[in-house]
Structure 1
């Protein structure tokens, strides 16, 4: 597979469950190593970096985990300030000021600063995780299923936040999601991962207009029976698919 991400863009990776989308994100930041091939960040081979080199990359690349991955025993403020304590020489007062600023940037009132994650709603946890990710002023933000488990209102909030950060901070964003409306909303480009390759990389409009069977099946939620090789045979699995257009998509 081959995928290039350009500075300042938001690119969304879509594809079936278990296809390797989250694995791609983890390889980008060196949490997992590829069996073969290269992963480069500004020309530097990420798999070849030592711990010090990886630490330098991770100061520039933030990762928003699917479940937020907040520290349960830390307050909201402490969670947001964690990376600043680890990677900078900022004093406590400066860290607090930066953490409060990030809270406001993601639309949360500073009154939640001293609360523990257990007292927050799912949407608030996601936004605290996002605030933590931008605290170190990263060049790149990797989002792993940022809207999973959220209601439509909070899904819209997260989408708006992704757009806002790109617009105001100029960050590069890589988003893994199954949420097609959000992918359409936030993406400069969409990449579809299918059978360990990216057969489609392009604009949302180009994707909706594509006639490729694997893309049409994914968009419309059709399921096809896999042959012995694992490839789709083109035959259905006995489940009756809805006609195209029934969901408002032509």
Structure 2
């Protein structure tokens, strides 16, 4: 579903219009539509997810969890909860996010660790570190702020728009730039390649399988690859639903220790 669409696409912000093949493309409108398609399908949603982590030696780890998401504003603030159920070493772990659309406001992220009965706040400086041992980052899960990058349309094919993104605060991220490809038919970002300053392509986020669910193009399988080590994480989504009427209290701090069972079973 669109909840983790950053496992498959990084949120983008507008830039100026450019001309490609004599057709004027409004990059700002293009980016906003991609953001809407990737992160704001319906008013809320849920999905069951399975994650397979494969390291550089081919060793595998599995994770299973349920994702709940509710929009506060369309293309704006958003709430998210991720409830882990398997394996036993991560069971009952909960990831909570309050996503903010404001330019100068960082998203709020917390991780509940049941073994310690501890709620750990994820600092802004840790947003691009590993999410529960996978190749996804915390920021991949909750979404990169739409205001943090400048975009330029660099190419266009019959099926895709191709844009280059430069971070406005380069010291806050590990990449120099990334190139994102947006599918024209669905408006979904379907491929993102990250580069270092020497143009080394070291990381990739891609949509592997997309289908329509309740009228919304939905990513059912996504993959993040470490192109240096050869490791990768594959994410599969099942039972995706939209507009299910999630109440606000599902996303409260109380749900960290007392999960809303009726919504995650």
Fold equivalence (TM over 0.5): no
TM-score (norm 1): 0.32
Q: Which has the higher contact order (CA 8 A, sep 6+)?
A: 1
TM-score (norm 2): 0.30
Greater share of strand: 2
Q: Which has the larger radius of gyration?
A: 1
Greater share of helix: 1
